Amino acid sequence: MLPDFASELQNLRDQNRYRTVRTIDSAQETHLQIDGRNILLFCSNNYLGLANHPALKEAACEAIKTYGCSAVASALISGYMRPHRDLEHRLSQFLGTESALVFPTGYMANLGVITALVGREDIVFSDALNHRSLIDGCRLSRATVSIYPHANIDHLRGLLQSASHHRRRLIITDGIFSMDGDMAPLPDLLTLSNEHNAMLMLDDAHGTGVLGPNGQGTHEHFGIPASHIDILMTSGSKALGAYGGYIAGNHDLISLLRNRSAAYIYTTALPPDACAATHKALDIVSQQSDLRQKLWHNIRAISTGLQNLGFDLMKSQTQIIPIHIGDDSKTVAISQYLYDQGIYLYGIRPPTVPEGQSRLRLSVMATHTNSDIDQLLNIMATVREKFF
């Protein structure tokens, strides 16, 4: 017999933490069709607007025509197809590493890497605001997990100094933090990892395609060659507008993961169309820097506009702009008000963010027009009047 789920669900409702989904009847663009209405989207990871790009769709359709809809086996058995191989080459070329590996999702890549590289005798140092997939990877690995306060290098140094007896040390950080939109202090983390003989893993799910002169991500933004980052992870499902989880690094790392990573070995390989779409996205990111410039233009316009209205954007430095509200029910009420006004801006509540830090997580797209931004800022001015 099932336990009393109804009362558990009621508790979530009482705490304003019950979550539902909205069904979208159109492609992922700045404007969505939902319940017969045209809604302006400000909470998608489609930062460069590539998810519905004709060239990506064509590449995906061609891959389906040639290779079908599924890999129908894990990569090691018979699921590793030409699109996987080509994408691995393209990824390593794009990011500047020796090699790369395709996982089905970013979540699985994080689980798969951490559990393959560290175990009971090892220690992981993880930023307090790292993504849930990294947290779960740490837990599953059974390594000792030492959580350092967000971006606090001095604290991390102290932790590393007292952990020399462990077999392996692994420092893990998001590049752009997914709920806060600030950047990791990557140069300092790199120095610390070298000084303390620790591996450094960068989850750049939100940095790829957005940061750096060529869109290579957080390491490029800081002028750090990718070869200096031991384990570079990214996702196809944000700026690249596609799907999949990717690890880049040296040949030995990638071969070890192919042999040891359960999340690579015991699941069906990514479908060929997702490989082809990601591949095409990397070509576009390399060739069209104007998309990135437009994104940064929009980021500046939106953050300045919101700050002028008096909103607290926390420490955002990027396309992810948290608008701090604090109280859960107020966050839900504002999100609903915005939706009624035709703007989709999701309210993020605990446990995704710490208690008392509920927020609207705004994400900017290169394809937002000036008039979209005006519409947002006008409605946010009314939010200011009504709710503060």
E strand or H helix at 322: strand 320-326
The tokens for 374 are 């005006």
**Could you say whether residue 349 binds ligand PMP (CB under 6 A)?**
no
> x/- string (CB under 6 A) for ligand PMP, residues 66-105?
---------------------------------------x
Window of 20-28, 75-83, 199-207, 372-380 that interacts with ligand PMP by CB under 6 A: 199-207
Least CB distance to ligand PMP at residue 21 (A) = 16
Q: What pairs with residue 201 in β-bridges?
A: 172, 231
d(CA 354, CA 62) in angstroms, rounded, equals 44
Work out how close the CB of 237 gets to ligand PMP at its nearest, in angstroms, rounded to a whole number.
4
One-letter amino acid of 305: G
Per-position DSSP letters for 16-48, written without gaps between them: T---------S-SSSEEEETTEEEEE-S-S-TT
Quick check: 319 binds ligand PMP (CB under 6 A)?
no
Window 163-182: residues binding ligand PMP (CB under 6 A): 174, 178
- Strand 169-174 to strand 231-235: parallel, antiparallel, or no bridges (unpaired)? unpaired
Q: How far is the CB of 363 from ligand PMP (least distance, A)?
A: 11
Q: Which of 115, 141, 146, 235 binds ligand PMP (CB under 6 A)?
A: 235
Which of the stretches 147-155, 202-210, 298-306, 324-332 binds ligand PMP when contact is defined by CB under 6 A?
202-210
Q: Beta strands of 114-235 (E only): which ranges?
A: 123-127, 144-148, 169-174, 199-203, 231-235
Closest CA to 190 of 158, 164, 223: 223
In a 3-state reduction of DSSP, which class is residue 7? helix
Toward ligand PMP, which CB reaches closer, 178 or 316?
Answer: 178
Q: How far is the CB of 376 from ligand PMP (least distance, A)?
A: 22
* Beta bridge partner(s), residue 172: 126, 201
Judged by CB under 6 A, which of 42, 94, 107, 125 binds ligand PMP? Answer: 107
Binding residue for ligand PMP (CB under 6 A) from 115, 208, 237, 316? 237
What is the CA 19 to chain-centroid distance, rounded? 20
Binding mask 113-152 for ligand PMP (x = CB under 6 A): ------------------x-x-------------------
Alpha helical stretches, state H, 244-388: 251-260, 262-265, 272-287, 289-308, 328-340, 370-387
Active site positions, annotated: 178, 206, 238
Owner of token pair 């929009």: 298
Which residues contact ligand PMP by CB under 6 A? 105-107, 110, 131, 133, 174, 178, 203, 205-206, 235, 237, 245
